[in-house]
Structure 1
Amino acid sequence: MHIEDKIYGSFNINEEVLQELLASKPVQRLKGIHQGGASYLVNPEWNVTRYEHSVGVMLLVRMLGGSVEEQAAGLLHDVSHTAFSHVIDFVLDYENQDYHEEIFEEVISQSDIPEILERYDFSVEKVMDEENWKILEQPLPDLCADRIDYTLRDMYQQGMMSHKEIDSFLQSLRFNGEKVYVNDEKVAEWFVRFFYKEVIDYFLHPLNVYGYQVLSQSLKEALQKGVITREDFLLTDEQLLQKVKSTEDSTVQQLLGKLHPKVEVQYNEVDYDYSQHGKLRYIDPLVQLKDDNLVSVSEVNHSVQEATVSAKKRSEKGTYVKVLST
């Protein structure tokens, strides 16, 4: 199987277990799940899918020397994401934005994934437990394949970074069996800068916040009125959207009518219609010094310290959205 990825390039996937997992229904469903939730409804260019991200994580784990098992874990780590991703956390009032984690084991167990893994003598429990996979997942503020891929993928899609910059970053990435790190302080600073563009300028962009708030309101109304059920959250974005659109409920229809690319909003913390505070995320990559020691880049780079302080303040402040026209 040949994969052409816009971030990492060309790969031949010869492992049959990975080929079968790629073709499985839960993974294929991710082609219809947008990583940015409601974002694509208000800006068609914000259209990265969970499938692209999941395949990307698998490939990055592969590039850093991860086992086939860890590549499988990377591919599967987002299969329980609902339609519209984290929008459903707002619908169900999950403040930690972790509903997909709560249902992860259930989604896996009710699919053909355990059968595929067991056919190749892989432990389902081991693959599903992210604590086993140190390339795939690390606690903040460290680097990991998941965090790296969604940052590179979103920023590249939005034209914020070039392939040359991405290649330079990837060439500096290392994994020592315990931690993912970079071997160049300036490259680490570069990634920090773009990570904060991701979590502040994108996640908390007024238009993005508007899309999340309006769609979550419409889905919450539809759920309360029995138009949809929780089980419907495991449809694709468009399948769920069409089901909601089928209702004659005026409140739901009015809210859905506000979601389109021509809406105009602005940041206004005095006179606002919607507000949202971000889930605090900060990054402090490990960097290899000339003496081969690993230290957090903030220990040797003042710009990174300043960027983190600024991002924290902005995240705590939140985004306040004034609607100009719908």
Structure 2
Amino acid sequence: MSSHSYPHKICDPIHGFIRYDEVEGRLIDSRPFQRLRYIHQMGVAYLLYPGATHSRFEHSLGVMELASHIFDTLLAPRNLIFGESIPKSDQERGYWRRILRLAALCHDIGHLPFSHTAEKALLPDGGHEKMTLQLVQSDELRTIWNSISEEAESDICKVLVGEGEFWEQILYKIIAEDNFGADRIDYLLRDAYYTGVGYGHFDFHQLVDTLRILPQGIGVSISGVQSVESLWIARYMMFARVYHHPKLRVYTHHMNRFLSDHFPTSWDLESYLQQTDYTVLTLMAEAAKKGDFDARCLLKMEEPFQEVVLEDESKED
């Protein structure tokens, strides 16, 4: 759909070539985004699945790529069932496509080291989304947004939180919709690929091709129902066999305790940008030398708990 030029490309095992333009390249090269290279997508899952060392950096690139495909599908003339509140001109659509791609890149930049594990222990209010908005509104990224328009920063924030009019909420759902948003599709495919399990695979091309804008939001045509069902089954199996694997939950329990005991609970933006998984691992190595039980378990110096009572967890992405 877009005639916009994307002269740069990154090779990705899930989506092939992911192309991006100069402004997106500036965001990718920024400190908030580069930091995602050093935050594991699946937390401590690499202790159980050795291949699960992928990061939120490549996941965010994948979400941008998928969000673009969903946008183009939804706005293709043959697919427009409900056209109210949809931008009409090519210029407007090009602008919002750009905003969507930038928001998709930014959707995870506020994550703490080891992601949801740390956030459960250290961020009881607001999670990583609050820090994501602070980073988007920081002086460091504002110079990028201002190169597009005065409204770009505000529009990106609206897309990230799902605020605004019907159209902004549609863009939010393209990224974060519970049933078939780009975030969910990418993490299921990517996590299945890097863990080496077969549970997370489904026909996402067919699913994306059948998405439509409806008065209630985003829906799927009848020919895509089985693809949605396949996604649900893939998600169920990934949670049952991977994300909630008993051993992985024990490792997560140890990490939760370690972070609660040793990691700071407040930061300014500058210190936040310096916190990565490797910051935690360095801290853990020092604590293990001093006999910290959780650190020693996570570094394989002690046998982990054989039986731990854990609350039900369904936090994802």
Q: TM-score, normalised by structure 1?
A: 0.72
Q: Does 1:72 align with 2:105?
A: no
Q: Which moved more, 1:103-112 or 1:211-220?
A: 103-112
Residue-by-residue CA offset, 1:147-171 (whole Å, 9 max, x unaligned): 11111111222233499x65x4313
Residue-by-residue CA offset, 1:39-68 (whole Å, 9 max, x unaligned): 224442222211111111000011223511
Q: Equivalent of 1:124, from 133, 138, 153? A: 153
Counterpart amino acid of 2:14?
I
Aligned partners of 1:37 and 1:84 also within 8 Å: yes
Aligned partners of 1:218 and 1:255 also within 8 Å: yes
Question: Size of the alignment, in residue pairs?
Answer: 265
State the superposition RMSD in angstroms: 2.9
Q: TM-score, normalised by structure 2?
A: 0.73
Q: Which residue of 2 aligns with 1:202?
A: 242
Aligned partners of 1:22 and 1:28 also within 8 Å: yes
Distance change in 2, residues 1:148/1:55 (3 Å): same
Cα displacement (A) at 1:11: 3.2
What's the secondary structure of 2:111's corresponding residue?
coil
Q: Does 1:246 align with 2:286?
A: yes
What's the secondary structure of 2:40's corresponding residue?
coil
Identity of aligned residues (%): 25
Q: Structure 2 stretches of 5 or more lacking a match?
A: 1-7, 73-96, 163-167
Distance change in 2, residues 1:191/1:258 (3 Å): same
What's the secondary structure of 2:175's corresponding residue?
coil
Q: What are the residue-to-residue correspondences of 1:135-284 with 2, within 5 Å?
A: 135-138=174-177, 140=178, 142-161=179-198, 166=202, 168-173=203-208, 174-177=210-213, 178-179=217-218, 181=220, 183-223=223-263, 228=264, 230-231=266-267, 234=273, 235-247=275-287, 250=290, 253-260=292-299, 272-279=307-314
Distance change in 2, residues 1:24/1:34 (3 Å): same
Distance change in 2, residues 1:89/1:280 (3 Å): closer
CA distance in 1, matches of 2:61, 2:282: 27
Cα displacement (A) at 1:135: 1.0
Aligned partners of 1:33 and 1:85 also within 8 Å: yes
Distance change in 2, residues 1:248/1:50 (3 Å): closer
Q: What are the residue-to-residue correspondences of 1:79-98 with 2, within 5 Å?
A: 79-92=109-122, 94=124, 98=126
Cα displacement (A) at 1:76: 0.4
Distance change in 2, residues 1:22/1:186 (3 Å): same
CA distance in 2, matches of 1:241, 1:265: 17
Cα displacement (A) at 1:70: 0.3
Q: Which moved more, 1:123-132 or 1:24-33?
A: 123-132
Q: Which residue of 2 aligns with 1:39?
A: 45
Residue-by-residue CA offset, 1:255-304 (whole Å, 9 max, x unaligned): 111014798779xxxx82242311278xxxxxxxxxxxxxxxxxxxxxxx
Counterpart amino acid of 1:213?
H
Aligned partners of 1:42 and 1:260 also within 8 Å: no
CA distance in 2, matches of 1:197, 1:237: 27
Residue-by-residue CA offset, 1:70-118 (whole Å, 9 max, x unaligned): 0110010000001110111232273x8x520232222333352121011
Q: Structure 1 stretches of 5 or more lacking a match?
A: 282-326
Q: Which moved more, 1:211-220 or 1:69-78?
A: 211-220
CA distance in 2, matches of 1:262, 1:195: 33
Distance change in 2, residues 1:91/1:144 (3 Å): same
Cα displacement (A) at 1:248: 7.5
Q: Equivalent of 1:63, from 69, 72, 85? A: 69
Cα displacement (A) at 1:187: 2.3
Cα displacement (A) at 1:185: 3.2
CA distance in 2, matches of 1:278, 1:92: 16
